[in-house]
């Protein structure tokens, strides 16, 4: 077996590992990603639930900006 080839493989493997790693320098990228996606899912679910509740109270969210400001329109059922 060619030693240079083995070394190259090792470097490639290290590189790919580094690429997969998140930018915060954590080595357990898979678990980090999993927890992130879980949090994201929970946030989405919470948002949906909130929106549903608001709709039931006839409060409509008009627009969400990037700064998380929520503009609310209250519909009067007269």
Q: List, in order, residues 6 or more apart from 22 with CB less than 8 Å away.
A: 29, 32, 33
Q: What pTM, to 2 d.p., does this model score?
A: 0.32
The pLDDT of 13-33, averaged and rounded, is 61
What average pLDDT does the chain have?
A: 65
pLDDT of 78 above 50: no
70 against 8, higher pLDDT: 8
Q: How many domains does the chain have?
A: 1
The owner of tokens 């700064």 is 67
The answer to whether residues 52 and 45 touch, using CB atoms and an 8 Å cutoff, is no
Its domain, for residue 16, covers 3-74
Specify the pLDDT at position 7: 77
Look at residue 5 and tell me whether its pLDDT is greater than 60: yes
Distance CA(29)–CA(24), nearest Å, equals 10
Confidence of residue 22 (pLDDT cuts 50, 70, 90): low
């Amino acid at each position: 077996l060619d030693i240079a080839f083995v070394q190259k493989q090792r470097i490639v493997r290290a590189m790919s590992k580094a690429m997969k790693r998140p930018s915060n320098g954590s080595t357990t990228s898979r678990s980090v990603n999993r927890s992130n996606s879980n949090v994201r899912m929970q946030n989405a679910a919470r948002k949906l639930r909130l929106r549903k509740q608001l709709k039931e109270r006839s409060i409509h969210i008009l627009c969400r900006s990037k700064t998380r400001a929520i503009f609310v329109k209250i519909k009067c059922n007269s």
